Amino acid sequence: MKQLIKTLQQDENSNKFYYDKMLKDFELESRYNAMVRSVRNKWHNESLKYIHRVHDMKEKKEENYINRMRKLQKIYDDKDNKIKNKLKENKLITDVSIKRTLKFQVIITVNEQKIICLDKGNNVLMLANGEKIDNNNEYLGIPTLINYTKDDVLKKFLEEMGKLDYEIIESISEIEYSPSKNEKEEIVDETRFLLKMNDGNLVYINNSKLSSLKYYQKIVASLNDKKGILHLDSGSYLEEVK
């Protein structure tokens, strides 16, 4: 009996030893896990702080870059506007566009009003938009308007002529305002002009038919070298002059 009690006490002591050991191991493991979690949390927090710092630095850098680009763009815009305004002082220039490339090239595109004729009576150049500029004898090959023309008729004439290529305009040497009349000397067509061409032909035409001048070269080619007065104001026929 004593032996049994002794054995039980030994087992209990042994179990207590193992229990204490397990408890200690559990406490150690818990401490380890807590330490790991603490390190992880600290690393995570530090990582977040680092990420936020990097993000803030990047945002600030981008903001500074954008501000610099805006300032630079404003400088370019101011310069471009000065260039545009300076060029537009010339009445021939209607529009100016300026483009800057990534290769630091500046491309300037200019749209010009066409010079239609020289008004002989006033010695001024007439533009397609009806404006006048001083004749400085710099422009050659321009037709000469040799007589007075009603303002509204001339304005429409210039406008329609401005739709033609320079090749056609430069093929005209003289322009005469020549309204057509009937037998009673009554004006029938007050928008008619007589054009003296560089090839020796004469052309009667009115404002409503001016667009047909773009076919002038084809019409002349069909005449087989005949010369005369080409009536484009009423139909399309040649009054041959021998």
What distance in Å separates the CA atoms of residue 206 and residue 10, rounded to the nearest whole number?
A: 135
pLDDT along the chain (242 residues), means of 10: 48 52 59 62 64 70 78 81 86 86 84 92 93 87 94 96 94 96 90 95 95 92 88 84 68
What distance in Å separates the CA atoms of residue 145 and residue 159, rounded to the nearest whole number?
A: 15
Q: What is the pTM for the complete model shown?
A: 0.66
Give every CB contact of residue 100 below 8 A, 6+ residues apart in sequence: 76, 106, 107
Q: What are phi and psi of 188, to 5 degrees?
A: -100, -40
The pLDDT of residue 177 is: 97
The pLDDT of residue 127 is: 95
The pLDDT of residue 25 is: 57
CATH topology of domain 113-240: Rossmann fold (3.40.50)
The pLDDT of residue 89 is: 83
Contact 162, 128 (CB under 8 A): yes
Question: Where do the domains of the chain lie?
Answer: 113-240
